[in-house]
Amino acid sequence: MTRTLSGVGVTPLSGLGTVRWYRPDGGPDLDAIQADDPDIEHERFERAREQADEELHAERERTAKVVGEDEAEIFDAHRQFLSDPQITDAVEAAIDSGQAAEVAVDSAFGDAIDQFEGMEGRMAERADDLRDLRDRLLRLLSGGERIDLAELPAGTAVLAERLTPSDTAQLDPDRIAGFATATGGRTSHAAIFARSLGIPAIVGVGEALFEVEDGVEVAVDAENDTLVVGPDEETRERVSEKRDVEIRRERVETADGVEIEVAANVGTTAEIQGTVDQGADGIGLYRTEFLFLDRESPPDESEQVDTYRDALESFPEGRVVVRTLDIGGDKPVPYLDIPDEENPFLGQRGIRRSLGPDTDLFETQLRALLRASADTEGTLSIMFPLVATTDELDAALDRVDSVTEALEADGVAVDMPELGVMIETPGAVLMADALAERIDFLSIGTNDLAQYVMAAARENDAVADLHDPRHPPVLRAIRRTVEAAHDHDAWVGMCGEMAGDPDLTRLLVGLGLDELSMSAVTIPAVKAAVSETESTAARALADRALAASTKHDVIEIINTQQ
């Protein structure tokens, strides 16, 4: 009998496969473990830590290569926790008191997990990271075997309560038909990995998922937000049919001639070729912080010049939007004095650090960007993150002017780049007209904007439904930003996950976006959606969605207009 379960489709893909439940080993029986001599238990813990670090390093390298630097950053955080004195000291103290290493690890990590769960925002998400790391250490200490998700039979549909970054990074997109999880939202690690890998995926299915048995056939229909159990022949044919979306190298227009720029989000030079291969018009978000992470000292000016020049040379006829350093308390950087903050996403990050403690790094980065642009084809656009006030923007623009004057005094002919800001907070939306009056463009970061507008942490499953850009308040914030930009002859783009959903392309065109930037894998589908859109009808769709009072109404409006 066919059953249809609803969730959140996070990729514009579908697949047909046989269910394999992923239930990680519950771990060793801690009550049955007898402690050995403390010196031996300390040795066991240190050996497990070394093995865990080796595993995490290997997984980080593989993820950076296959998925991207942005996604690989999660493993850097796990490695930091391995040497966190708050945890390691607690483990060692427990061992000294006579506990076995396994019991000590479980106790120390349990306390840390409880502590993070009591926090708000992104810090609460660290609880899942700690669980992942705790379970890894317990497996290594007990000699347990790891389930190798990379070796699952072709055509497997993975079901799980949740998938950790370590789990999802193992999945082979050439073998996996798709996956579905009971928990999670659009911006969970599993969802982001799925988009980058091109795997059909549905998250947030809920308790009904546990009723699906191993070995049954399912259709992971992420295009329609459904998991179909025991699909009928029509569904099987529809989801198993390969959709070969044409890769378009040229820029695309709507059916009635409105050009929409379709660009890519990248974090490193290694990711750029993949965006070129998928037909990106340029780079809409270059996350430069990954150039500064996982090293003992910051990149010097020459290294940065080479990095930015590579990006510009890859798109000689396109635009490269480089976001200046977006570092905060959630991203540990060994050579910076970054204080622990109760909620770093409401603290000192982005432009706030660039104009404060990281001002030297900021000016060096501006010098490198301007030098790279001076002798390279392509259009450089510099974007400042987390600008919330005109005072911050004016101060940043003054820094650009002073760096430009210094370069010209050194004989460097500077061709002034486009300058813009990310719109990530309600404050920036409310001040969008004053911001746009001073600069060339605004770029909407919908992941953070939805989080701040709806007061819903991005990876808190309890409020996952609220962290959805289809909620009317978020749509109205987008429209207000677009209108403010256009009133001052500035262009406006979007670089959040919303931009890469082809089911929302018509709505975004109707809202007036000039540029959409996304993970490379979704570029062909979004370009196809743009070319099939008629802008007048899209504006009517957007007007109806803006007048809606609930997310459900917005979804119904979008679905009936497909």
**Catalytic annotation, residues:** 189, 495
Name the residue with tokens 């490695």. Answer: 79
Token digits for 82?
Answer: 């391995």
Which own/partner contact pairs does 455-463 have at CB distance under 8 Å and 24+ positions apart? 457/120, 457/121, 457/122, 457/124, 457/125, 458/122, 458/125, 458/185, 458/187, 459/122, 459/124, 459/125, 459/128, 459/185, 459/187, 459/188, 459/189, 460/124, 460/125, 461/183, 461/184, 461/185, 461/188, 461/204
From CA 439, how far away is CA 419, in angstroms rounded?
6
The two three-digit tokens of residue 74, written as one number: 């999660």
Long-range contacts of 293-301 (CB under 8 A, 24+ apart): 293/73, 293/76, 293/331, 293/333, 294/76, 295/334, 295/335, 296/334, 296/335, 297/335, 298/335, 298/361, 298/364, 300/364, 301/364, 301/367, 301/368, 301/371
SS3 53: helix
Identity at 54, one-letter amino acid code: E
Task: Return the bridge partners of 381, or none.
Answer: 321, 418
176-181 sheet: strands from edge to edge: 3-6, 226-229, 217-221, 14-21, 156-160, 176-181, 201-203, 8-9
Q: At 129, list the tokens.
A: 């990271």
Q: Which residues pair with 444 in a beta bridge?
A: 423, 494
Q: What are the two backbone dihedrals, phi and then psi, of residue 10, each rounded to the nearest 5 degrees?
A: -115, 0
Write the CB contacts of 246 (distance below 8 Å, at least 6 apart in sequence): 524, 528
Tokens coding 491: 């262009």
Characterize the bridge pairing of strands 201-203 and 283-287: unpaired
DSSP 25: -
Distance CA 140, CA 132 (A): 13
Type and span of the H or E element at 132: helix 122-142
Amino acid identity for residue 64 in this structure: A
